């Protein structure tokens, strides 16, 4: 059986793949949409914001270098 850490690694890889293919929409509704995600998942909004920020920074570094 797969442990939680490996599940997280796979989930992150799939999410990064999808974001890389589809992009991230930055719209006036983005903040509200993120708040809705926080409510639906039970993940604190500040943690979601931090996660998205780190993900974007990481993907930019991978794409354009440092």
Instruction: Answer for the pair 21, 15: CB distance below 8 angstroms, yes or no.
Output: no
- For residue 6, name the pLDDT band (cuts at 50, 70, 90): very high
Instruction: Check pLDDT > 90 for residue 48.
Output: yes
Contact 48/34 with Cβ under 8 angstroms?
Answer: yes
| Residue 24 pLDDT class (50, 70, 90 cuts) | confident
Q: What is d(CA 21, CA 7) in angstroms, rounded to the nearest whole number?
A: 21
- In Å, the largest CA–CA distance within the chain is 42
pLDDT at 30: 87
CA atoms within 13 A of residue 57's CA, in its CB half-sphere:
6
In the predicted model, what is the mean pLDDT of the chain?
A: 91
pTM of the model: 0.76
């Amino acid at each position: 059986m797969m442990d939680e850490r490996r599940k997280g690694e796979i989930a992150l890889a799939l999410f990064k793949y999808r974001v890389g293919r589809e992009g991230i929409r930055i719209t006036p509704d983005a903040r509200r949409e993120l708040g809705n995600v926080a409510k639906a998942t039970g993940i604190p909004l500040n943690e979601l914001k931090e996660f998205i920020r780190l993900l974007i920074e990481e993907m930019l570094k991978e794409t354009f270098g440092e």
